[in-house]
Structure 1
Amino acid sequence: MKSFVAALAALAMALFVSACTTPASDGHTDHPHGAETPVVSGQPADFNDADVTFATMMIPHHEQAVDLSEMVPTRTTNPEVIALAQTISAAQGPEIETMKVLLVQWNAGEAGGHEGHDMSSMQGMVDTATMEKLQTLNGDAFDKLWLQSMIAHHEGAIVMADAELKDGASADAKRLAQQIVTAQQAEITSMKQMLGD
């Protein structure tokens, strides 16, 4: 098991390093999240319980955002919503992998062991009834509920990231938290404009 975890960490590190040494544009230069996904350090630097909590809870939070984004192409033809969903998925997928690597480095579990936590009480998580309703909607009705849900979801992520910035010790985790705050605040502004708020 140790060799598997070490191999996972080494592979993920190699992917992150290679991704960050190749200049590339994601085609969304109008979004502040264009910054590269933080590279995790080669050595497990200082960390504390706040860092572990941040990564452990943010992984399923991000996973739900990816799930929400995957609904979009089949439920709307709104190009702004489609583009935003693609941006969210492209940003948060790699961030999930970064947090998994951090947890491995901290010996806190490959996926953070979030099975013991109540995900429904997490900041901004979309409840099951809303997730099911979204799957029954199309067009403008879908867009409205999806945008409202994603705004609340992003606001929850920002609260969690702010807590990491305040209480965390890991430079890698804090860098990721700042990236989340910057990108998701900008996306909240865009989504509110789409809703006409």
Structure 2
Amino acid sequence: MARNATGSSRRPVIAFLAAVEAVALLLAAGVAAVATTRDDGAPAGSVATTPAPAPTPSVLPTDAIGTAPVIQPGRPGEPAQVLRPDQLTPPPGAPHNAADIRFVTMMVPHHEQALQMAALVPQRAGSTGVIAIADRIRAAQQPEVEVLKGWLRDRRLNSLLGGTGHEHPDMHGMQSPEAIAALTATTGTAFDRMFVEMMTAHHQGAIAMAQEVLASGVDQRIRELARNIAFEQAVEVNRMREVIDPPSK
């Protein structure tokens, strides 16, 4: 009877974790789907007018939907703990594959370009909303760059980094040097609109890259980071659209 009661109490938890992952991936896919359509005829790269809900800080699961909680034995004299898979710390040298390496080595320069664009904002933006967005980008993506670089160092793969990312024509959302130069030369309202259009495309590229590693990668830490990137940047795309095209009252 005790075993059946424990199994019954875990089922809602498992269902909740599955729902969280499904919502995150559906939100990311929705942003990519609306990238080619706008009611007002604006360029592709814009997104739906309905703002997504503000992200709720949470730790998303790292295994397939429906994975059961893991029982971790306690130390002598201590009870065992029931943990979600994403709460476990992977051992050094945890398994990874080519998809994980590709994601990390491309996401580092991808994030670094977003930080470069965000650094232009304080002296050029005409909107406090754009300034706030740039602050959030710096706060989120700089720590992620350090995590990604640390992952490479731990596996002695940091030699794979180098260059700016422009040499990867298949790196989604990466902006050309000419586009960065044009943004740098702009100020005020024109800067705000150009920044939002470029950063929207950049975020959509990051979402696509995250979806690729979620489909093919095996490293649990990288999969968790990719889920967070896909969810957070999908929400941020909608925030940027609201700054430029506020919803009518």
TM-score by length of 1: 0.77
* Map of 2:49 onto structure 1: none
Equivalent of 2:217, from 168, 175, 184?
168
Tell me the secondary structure at the aligned position of residue 32 of structure 1.
coil
Could you say which residue in structure 2 is the equivalent of 1:100? 149
Greater shift in the superposed pair: 176-185 or 118-127: 118-127
Q: Is the CA contact (8 Å cut-off) linking 2:121 and 2:134 kept in structure 1?
A: yes
Q: For 1:21-170, list aligned pairs within 5 A.
A: 31-32=54-55, 34=57, 41=90, 43-109=92-158, 112-115=160-163, 118-170=167-219
Q: Residues 114 and 166 of structure 1: is their aligned pair in 2 closer, same or farther, counting only changes over 3 Å?
A: farther
Gaps of 5+ in 1: 1-29
Partner Cα distance (2:241, 2:132) in 1: 15
Q: CA deviation at 1:103?
A: 1.0
Could you tell me how far apart the structure 2 residues matched to 1:116 and 1:73 are?
23
Deviations 1:70-110 (A, max 9, x none): 00000014111001101001100000010111112222225
TM-score normalised per structure 2: 0.61
Q: 1:128 Cα shift? A: 1.1
Shift of 1:34: 4.5
With over 3 angstroms needed to count, the CA separation of the structure-2 counterparts of 1:31 and 1:92, relative to structure 1, is farther
Q: Percent identity?
A: 34
Secondary structure at 1:43 match in 2 = coil
Q: Call closer, same or farther: CA 1:193–1:153 in 2, change over 3 Å.
A: same
2-structure distance, mates of 1:84, 1:34: 18
Q: Residue 81 of structure 2 aligns with which residue?
A: none
Distance 1:34 1:67 in 2: 26
Does the C-alpha gap of structure 1 residues 33 and 134 become closer, same or farther in structure 2, counting only changes over 3 Å?
farther
Q: What is the aligned length?
A: 166
Counterpart Cα distance in 2 of 1:115 and 1:44: 26
Read off the aligned partner of 1:103 and give its amino acid letter. Answer: L
CA distance in 2, matches of 1:33, 1:153: 23
Distance 1:66 1:80 in 2: 17
- Alignment check: 8 A CA contact 1:77 1:139 kept: yes
Larger of the two Rg values belongs to structure: 2
What is the identity, as a one-letter code, of the residue corresponding to 1:142?
A: F
Match of residue 24 from structure 1: none
User: Whole-Å Cα distance in 2 between the matches of residues 161 and 66 of structure 1?
Assistant: 18
Contact kept? 2:126, 2:192, Cα under 8 Å: no
- Distance in structure 2 (CA, Å) of the matches to 1:80 and 1:116: 28
Question: Does the Cα contact within 8 Å between 2:126 and 2:191 map onto a contact in 1?
Answer: no
